[in-house]
Amino acid sequence: MLDSATGLCALAALPSNLTVVTKRLDTRFLKAAGVGSITAKARIVARTDREMTVEADLLDAQGVTVAKATAELRILEMK
């Protein structure tokens, strides 16, 4: 879920002729998630012409952060 959130966040910021692939995904599990919905929130923290860093959080139904991730993404031109 964190990989999807970071990738979709990155894609939303790019023109349609570019895509991204995950080079590295560091995940930190903070606590067990209870039964119920889980929400992902992602944000871009750095970008160059070729790379992007995106951070994401998973929040449980009470809004408590249960996991965090930092993704290093490679920006590629679609063929």
**pLDDT digits 0-9 by tens, 30-50:** 999 888 999 999 999 999 999
When divided into structural domains, the chain yields a total of: 1
pLDDT of residue 35: 86
Band (pLDDT 50/70/90 cuts) for residue 22 is very high
DSSP 33: -
As a whole-number percent, the residues of the chain with pLDDT over 90 amount to 95
What mean pLDDT is predicted for residues 6-23?
97
Contacts of 45 (CB under 8 A, 6+ apart): 53, 54, 55, 70
Tell me the Ramachandran region of residue 63: left when phi exceeds 0, alpha when psi lies from -120 to 50, beta otherwise. left
Query: What's the DSSP call for residue 64?
Result: -
Tell me the CATH number at 61: 3.10.129.10
More confident residue, 56 or 35: 56
Identify the H or E element spanning 9.
helix 2-12
Residue 35 CB neighbours (<10 A): 6
Domain span at 53 = 2-77
